[in-house]
Amino acid sequence: MKPGHGEIVLAEGDVDVPEEEQELIEAFRRELDAGMWAAVPTEGLAGRREAELVKSFDEVPRDAERVIFFPRAAGGAAPAGR
């Protein structure tokens, strides 16, 4: 997710193909180095959908379809308004 643009595909590949996995790892590191958070949409124990924050590529489940990067959260200080 990129402010002002929305969703952008950064990299695509198969983790079982070493070259493609390397590309995915590099894209992952690049985003985390840029201060992004990485989340993997998952399904919880009760069958409810939820997300899992991951801090390294090793934490990404091998069968994950995608990793979503979004800007790191910060305390908002917007002016009061309704």
Partner 1 sequence: MALPLGTAAVLLLVLFFELVRPRLSRTFTRARVAIARAHRMHAVESYDPGRERRAEQRARALLRSCVDDRDWDMYSELGFLRVNGPVGASAGEGPAPYAYLIYPHKPIVAYVPATGELLNEYCITFPDHTKPFGSSRLPHSDDVLAKWMAITADERRLIGEANMHLPGRQVDPARIRRDLARLARWERERSERELGGARAA
**CB-nearer residue toward partner 1: 25 or 39:** 39
Residue with tokens 């002016």: 79
Q: Contacting partner 1 (CB under 8 A), which of 45, 58, 62, 63?
A: 45
Report the SS3 class of residue 28: helix
Instruction: Output the smallest distance, CB 70 to partner 1, in A.
Output: 4
**CB-nearer residue toward partner 1: 3 or 18:** 3
DSSP state of 2: B
- Non-local (6+) Cβ contacts of 1 within 8 A are 7, 8, 68, 69, 70, 71
**Which residues sit at the interface with partner 1, rule CB under 8 A?**
1-7, 34-35, 37, 39, 41, 44-46, 48-53, 68, 70-78, 80-82
